[in-house]
């Protein structure tokens, strides 16, 4: 493969850069996703558990439409390792595109990691248990793209070029995420800038209590909940 062809090929791969890495393990994504609905006298609780991938948007949007005329408060409880940036943005758009306010919550021992955080931020009121956990990290190519790169027979010079292109693209993708998906209502720019530096090459985990103590603006208020 010539260097030019390599660059054209990697450019095509990078058109789909909009993915956070998912936890290790394969299998049908849909089988690891659930949307529970619990109707209470004063509120309707939608509980999402699983990756931010298809068909999350469709399920959440359908639930919002189902209760669009219901006067009870809507709460979306999140427990997710994150997933696709592209799909996460469609979930956020589905929430914000309806004239139906919804609050978000992460319960005790629950996790809201990577692309789950922008979905959490779409809530009108954002609550978390002090012992809920949030994770922030850099954007990266999805697993399929990385495995494809490894399988290719490439020269050392081609691999060096690809490595540099991937690094530049992932940095640009991360900058875009933190500027457009995290920097919204109430989130403190100075705190975001600090986290942006801390995530270089590693995952940063923080509890709901820590986020409030640091004045991040991610969590509006803390609430004690039972473990999921």
Per-residue confidence (pLDDT) for residue 15, from 0 to 100: 46
Per-residue confidence (pLDDT) for residue 7, from 0 to 100: 53
Q: Looking at the predicted structure, is the pLDDT value of residue 20 above 50?
A: no
Per-residue confidence (pLDDT) for residue 25, from 0 to 100: 37
Among 16-20, 98-102, 157-161, the least confident range:
16-20
Burial class (CB in 10 A: 0-12, 13-18, 19+), 54: middle
- The answer to whether the beta carbons of residues 83 and 52 sit under 8 Å apart is yes
Q: Which CATH superfamily is domain 3-222 in?
A: 2-enoyl-CoA Hydratase; Chain A, domain 1 (3.90.226.10)
Q: Looking at the predicted structure, is the pLDDT value of residue 129 above 50?
A: yes
The domain limits of the chain are 3-222
Per-residue confidence (pLDDT) for residue 79, from 0 to 100: 97
0.75 exceeded by pTM:
yes
Q: Residue 225: in which H helix or E strand, if any?
A: none
Q: Region 94-122: what's the mean pLDDT?
A: 95
Give every CB contact of residue 127 below 8 A, 6+ residues apart in sequence: 103, 104, 105, 106, 219, 220, 221, 222, 223
Three-state SS at 21? coil
Mean pLDDT, the chain, integer: 85
pLDDT tens for 157-208 read: 777 777 787 788 788 888 888 999 998 888 999 999 999 999 998 999 999 9
Per-residue confidence (pLDDT) for residue 8, from 0 to 100: 52
Q: Region 210-221: what's the mean pLDDT?
A: 97
- The answer to whether the beta carbons of residues 80 and 52 sit under 8 Å apart is yes
């Amino acid at each position: 493969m010539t260097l030019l062809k390599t660059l054209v090929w990697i450019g095509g791969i990078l058109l789909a850069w909009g993915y956070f890495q998912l936890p290790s393990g394969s299998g049908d994504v849909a089988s690891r996703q659930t949307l529970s609905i619990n109707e209470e006298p004063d509120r309707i609780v939608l509980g999402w558990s699983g990756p931010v991938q298809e068909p999350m948007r469709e399920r959440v949007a359908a639930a919002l439409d189902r209760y669009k005329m219901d006067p009870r408060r809507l709460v979306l409880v999140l427990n997710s390792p994150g997933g696709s940036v592209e799909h996460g943005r469609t979930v956020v758009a589905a929430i914000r595109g309806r004239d139906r306010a919804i609050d978000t919550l992460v319960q005790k021992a629950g996790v809201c990691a990577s692309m789950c955080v922008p979905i959490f931020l779409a809530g009108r009121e954002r609550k978390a248990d002090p012992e809920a956990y949030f994770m922030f990290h850099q954007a990266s190519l999805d697993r399929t793209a990385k495995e494809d790169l490894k399988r290719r027979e490439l020269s050392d010079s081609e691999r060096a070029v690809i490595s540099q292109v991937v690094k530049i693209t992932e940095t640009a993708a991360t900058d875009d995420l933190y500027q457009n998906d995290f920097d919204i209502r109430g989130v403190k720019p100075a705190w975001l800038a600090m986290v942006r530096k801390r995530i270089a090459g590693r995952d940063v985990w923080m509890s709901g209590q820590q986020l409030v103590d640091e004045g991040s603006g991610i969590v509006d208020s803390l609430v004690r909940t039972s473990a999921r």
